[in-house]
Structure 1
Amino acid sequence: MNLSLRFSETVKEHGTKPAFIFEGNETSYLQLEGAINQFASSLTDMGINKGDHVAVVLGNSPYFVISLYGALRAGATVIPINPIYTPDEIAYIVNNGDVKSVITLDLLIPLFEKMNEKLPKLEHIITCETPPTDSKTDVDVTKLSIYTKMKGFTKMLSTGNPSFVGPELSDDDVAVILYTSGTTGKPKGAMLTHKNLYSNAIDTANYLKITSDDIVVTTLPMFHVFCLTVSLNAPLMNGATLLIVPRFSPEIAFELVKSYQATVFAGVPTMYNFLLQYDKAQPDDLKSLRICISGGASMPVALLKGFEQKFKVIVSEGYGLSEASPVTCFNPLDRPRKAGSIGTNIVNVENKVVNELGEELPPNHVGELIVRGPNVMKGYYKMPEETAHTLRDGWLYTGDLARQDEEGYFYIVDRKKDMIIVGGYNVYPREVEEVLYNHEEVVEVAVLGVPDPNFGEAVKCFVVVKDDKMTEDDLLEYCKQHLAKYKVPSSIEFLEELPKNTTGKILRRALKDQVLQK
């Protein structure tokens, strides 16, 4: 079984039911199935064969859902990419991922035009039409160097075969490659098979008791693995309805929950903080929700309790990572929820805490969290050494420090070494440091996470520069040109020199202590 086949089965049972609602317009399961087939058919006619890589550079929209399931049905491997990434970041993933076709918004045509010479393997650019806006400028595409590669999404749908039948898929075929930030500064592509994604979607759906009666607020970014499984694939496996939200805002979230009597909301702690702080919110605004799901970062206990007390809805915190498709733990719905815990094993997935030798530790001892199950990735794309280091004896070594209590509940003690989590997104210091080190005036740099009331953590930089006339604004502007918005430092502090140990290694802990003392 795989996502595509299961979706077709769901269509037979819930064909007339809304699969999703977007900007007030409903699309039934039967209509979505037809669009998926038409898009898959046109991809095949275009020359996308089984195993070819297709990048989806889109935000939350029907385009994303049709692109994802259409590409999977055609037998392609999907590579979701954050559309706010910089040209350098997108180009790296497209090239490293051997992408043959990109599906993106027409608004990003100028970006791909600039990158054209850097993308020699890219054969097709499928553009999704957006409504005219004041900020949208008309571009004469016939004069662009990428014009011969361009295809229109809408035309592909209109000419595709609604009865298309795709190639036979194996459980072990790679369905999706998710690029995660790498400790070396370059993203790693986690290869998730059809079995990985299907098993985690169906197990998550059943664990959270998602049924065709549920209406799920899909406001997390679809290109992120949290949304991909919990707010998109899992609901569609069991016939639920998605409320697709292009971008999160407290006002819109409250409005949609009340208007459609939504039953499930999933978000990162930052979203819950914004909802709690929203001054127009009333205690009964979320009364239709039967469950809220939190992940992406640890939720402060004070925030969790404050949210639950105000809105009278339970927040179930869980844990996952891209390499595990992603869910491994959730607080159970049929037993007490423990504040501060990521919960217990979901069905078919095993977590345990081990020491440096891989030996399981007794309760309440801190060690590395490792995971085993049908959801664990095949490996990193074109990175055998990284794969061998992360996958050992059938276990995925997460790099996260955790403990387990006597009742089987897990607690994350610390995140991967030095990793910064900004609003649920992972930022590795090395990636930001590499960018700053490319600036001709920067001598040394150290990056670390500091507490932030809105996003959990923020990126802070300490730098040593050659020219004392260099300003914080100068370096921030430079970072904005080379990094996605959430990776850009919130502040940059200039130092005469960075603290180091006797071997010359920069002492991050000393810098962190300095920040905390202020």
Structure 2
Amino acid sequence: MGEIVERDYELDFGRFGLAAPVSRPSIPFGAQTIADVLEQPLRERPDSEALVDRNSRYSYAELDGAVNAACQALMGFGIRAGDRIAASSFNSADLIIAFLASQRLGAIWIGMNRVLAPREKLYLLLDCEASLLLIDDENLSGLVSSLQDADFKPRIVRMNGTLQDDEWRVAVREAAGAPRADVAIDPHAPALISYTSGTTGRPKGAVHSQHNVAVVAAAWVARGDWDVGLRRGCAQAFTINNIMIRAGVLAFAGGGTLICMDRTDPEGVADWVEKESIEVLFAVPTMLHDLLMDPRVSNRRLPSLVRPLTGGASLPDNVRRAFRERFGSEVQLVYGLTEAPTSVAQTDPTEPFVPGSSGRAFPHLEIGILDEEQKMVALGEAGEVAIRASRTGAWAGVYTPLLGYWRRPEATAQALKNGWLLTGDVGRLDEEGRLYILDRRNDMIIRGGANIYPAEVERTMEEHPHVAAAAVVGLPDDRLGQVVAAVVQPARDEPDLAEIDAWLRTQLAGYKVPKYYYVADAMPRNAMNKIVKPTLRDWIGSGELRLALETSRRKPPTTQVPG
């Protein structure tokens, strides 16, 4: 057997400001941990195809062997239980295998989206104190100068996700045939950190246990609409933990096939669906829109696609109807959030479409609509959407909330109140238990499925010497759902907005940079000196604020998209 790695779990909770779980329930069926998610398909269908990327195919037996070898490789890089592993690379089987291996070792996985700017990646690395960074060469080249000036430096291992040898592939190949590492996994210990920006503009890490993730997978399978053997394709970035869970872990929990797609353009997505007979497609609304509207794929019918799924942004009803008419399948809508983790509710493919509905809660969860004192409002009334463990049936008490925000005990206390996880979204429930989301989470902008927090963009803009104050809002867009608009109060009479825009692109991921810039001599402020954004939106809508700069529409990326 592999090396036994011991871990002081109590130290983890206390040192990093996390709350140890009040209860330690078991899951009614299925794997209790991510580390064991391959066990059932290994017993029942070891030779069935489990994982596909552009360069390789793995049966469940082969995938299990590759994960064992990857565990040995990670231990060779010095990884032990509780260490943080950050990953920022292309979609590939290598990335999926590394994630599964991290969970078998009891390490903590941090996905870092490739599209983040170097300084954004550096902040995450420093905040979580990553011991190891798995990263592709192109991505690393932009990060080198930032790392050189940092006091804390993780070990860097190159992972390019191609057939060419890199440090990761060589290490895994040399460990081929390794037995499974003999590591005792605590299902309720920290296992993943998912970074999400907040009202302060600084990203904060939502910490989840393997139990938190495994219960989502088991509950999704328990719904009965995830038939064993379906081929699931995903072009969204697997370096986003929600995507790794929603597409990767769930595929294996159901004994299906995961196809790691490496293109997001309409032709590339259609090629993948046709070539691999993809039945379930995880896609942001923008991707579904482009499959319909792009003339290059106007004659593609994608007959294998029976279960398209989307989340992260509202799907325009005309796109939903056109997708059904063109491809013959109803798009299923998923509501979720990073802190849950991932999915909370989903529409039912066996029922007629209900306009505005995000479906019903998964069986392990209860959704509540609360007033400001965390008390239930009357049925049908609007309030804050909150979730907690189901209180009846086989799933009663099984769900446990996030362990907290990494080193942010105050933020944890704001999110977890009176037994509820507060989402910040405004919604209502109908008599059938269907959820309707009425307003976005606080001021968050959802652009093409990507979450953008205005405070982060504003804080960065205000670092520029020519910006006295900045306010960022979302404006409607037919294709992306929303786009980013910034109102600038200049620090001098005639600010060079093009120069500010160019500088901002060196500081933030491109999808966060405003498309529209407006100029205001002074910001509308309330008694607490806070900018009144509804007034700014009114000014923009009425034309009272002049549009000073519209950046050109850039060609959509063809390799990765934020999600």
TM-score under structure 1 length normalisation = 0.92
Q: Mark the runs of 5 or more structure 2 residues left unpaired by the alignment.
A: 1-31, 390-398, 544-563
Contact 1:286–1:313 (CA under 8 A) maintained in structure 2: no
Letter in 1 for 2:511: Y
Query: C-alpha displacement at 1:284, in angstroms?
Result: 6.8
Q: How does 1:4-153 map to 2 (within 5 A)?
A: 4-23=35-54, 25-129=56-160, 152-153=167-168
Instruction: For 2:385, give the aligned amino acid.
Output: L
Match of 1:143 in 2: none
* Partner Cα separation in structure 1 for residue 367 and residue 149 of structure 2: 42
CA contact (8 A) 2:284 2:449 kept: yes
In structure 1, C-alpha distance between the alignment counterparts of 2:142 and 2:269, rounded to whole Å: 31
- In the alignment, what sits opposite 2:373? 357
Amino acid corresponding to residue 51 of structure 2 in structure 1: F
The corresponding residue for 1:197 is 213
Checking the alignment, whether the CA contact within 8 Å between 2:476 and 2:482 is kept in structure 1 is yes
Q: Distance in 2 between matches of 1:293 and 1:217?
A: 10
Correspondence 1:238 to 2:254:
yes
Q: Is the 8 A contact 2:88 2:135 kept in 1?
A: yes
**Cα distance, 1:405–1:29 mapped onto 2, change above 3 Å:** same
Q: CA deviation at 1:468?
A: 3.3
Does the 8 Å contact 1:292/1:315 carry over to 2? yes
- Distance (Å, rounded) in 2 between the aligned partners of 1:203 and 1:503: 45
Q: 1:492 aligns with which of 507, 512, 517?
A: 517
| Pair 1:505–1:123, CA change in 2 (3 A) | closer
Q: Quick check: 1:335 aligned with 2:366?
A: no
Deviation, structure 1 residue 154: 1.5
1:154 corresponds to: 169
Shift of 1:24: 6.0
**Alpha-carbon distance in 2 for matches of 1:25, 1:170:** 32
Q: Are 1:460 and 2:485 matched, yes or no?
A: yes
Distance 1:98 1:332 in 2: 41
> By how many angstroms is 1:131 displaced?
5.7
The 2-side partners of 1:87 and 1:498 are apart by: 31
The code of the aligned residue for 2:513 comes to V
Residue 449 of structure 1 corresponds to 474
Task: Output one character per residue of 1:222-279: Cα deviation in whole Å (capped at 9) or x when no partner.
Answer: 1224422221110111221122111312112222222332211121211111112122
Q: Structure 2: how far apart are the matches of 1:11 and 1:77?
A: 24
Matched, 1:479 2:479: no
Letter in 1 for 2:142: L
Matching residue of 1:142: none
* Alignment pair present for 1:170 and 2:195: no
Tell me the equivalent position of 1:263.
279
Higher relative contact order (CA 8 A, sep 6+): 2
For 1:277, the equivalent position in structure 2 comes to 293
8 Å Cα contact 2:55-2:162 kept in structure 1: no
SS in structure 1 at match of 2:216: helix
- 1:330-382 superposed Cα distances (whole Å, 9 cap, x missing partner): 11233333122110011111111111111112222000000113163111111
Q: Give the SS at the match of 1:95.
A: helix
Provide Cα deviations, 1:83-133, integer angstroms capped at 9, x if missing partner.
121121111111111211111112233234212344434341111146699
The answer (yes or no) to whether the contact 1:41–1:74 under 8 Å persists in 2 is no
The CA distance in 2 between the partners of 1:489 and 1:159, in whole Å, is 47
Distance 1:271 1:375 in 2: 33
CA distance in 2, matches of 1:319, 1:483: 27
Question: Conserved in 1, the CA contact under 8 Å of 2:52 and 2:258?
Answer: yes
Q: 1:466 to 1:120 in 2, by over 3 A?
A: closer
Deviation of 1:498 (Å) = 2.0
- Tell me by how many angstroms 1:502 deviates: 4.9
Partners of 2:185 and 2:426 in 1: CA distance: 37
* Aligned-residue CA RMSD (Å): 2.0
- What is the CA-CA distance between 1:282 and the residue it aligns to? 5.1
CA contact (8 A) 2:347 2:360 kept: yes
- Give the direction of change, closer, same or farther, for the CA distance of 1:126–1:166 in structure 2 (3 Å limit): farther
What's the secondary structure of 1:180's corresponding residue? Answer: strand
Per the alignment, in what secondary structure is the counterpart of residue 403 of structure 1?
strand
Cα shift readout 1:457-483 (whole Å, capped 9, x = no counterpart): 111111122333432211110110100
1:307 maps to 323
How far did residue 280 of structure 1 move?
A: 4.1
Q: Match of 1:157, as an amino acid? A: V
Q: Determine the structure 2 residue equivalent to 1:391.
A: 416
Find the aligned partners of 1:207 and 1:293 in 2 and give their Cα distance: 15
Distance 2:205 2:472 in 1: 24
Taking the aligned partners of 2:446 and 2:489, their CA distance within structure 1 comes to 25
Letter paired with 1:422: R
How many Å apart are 1:210 and its aligned residue? 2.3
Deviation digits for residues 429-487 of structure 1, max 9, x if unmatched? 11111111101111121111111222111111111223334322111101101001111
Please, which moves more after superposition, 378-387 or 244-253? 244-253
Cα distance in 2 for residues equivalent to 1:129 and 1:306: 37
Percent identity for Structure 1 against Structure 2: 28
Residue aligning to 1:139: none
Partner of 2:526: 501
Greater CA drift, 122-131 or 431-440 = 122-131
Worse overlay, 484-493 or 204-213: 204-213
Q: What is the CA–CA distance in structure 2 between the aligned matches of 1:289 and 1:206, rounded to whole Å? A: 22
**What letter matches 2:225 in structure 1?**
K
Aligned residues: 501
Find the aligned partners of 2:266 and 2:144 in 1 and give their Cα distance: 35
When normalised by structure 2's length, the TM-score is 0.85
- What amino acid does structure 1 have at the position aligned with 2:74? L
5 Å-filtered alignment, 1:395-414, equals 395-414=420-439
Matching residue of 2:309: 293
SS at match of 2:52: strand
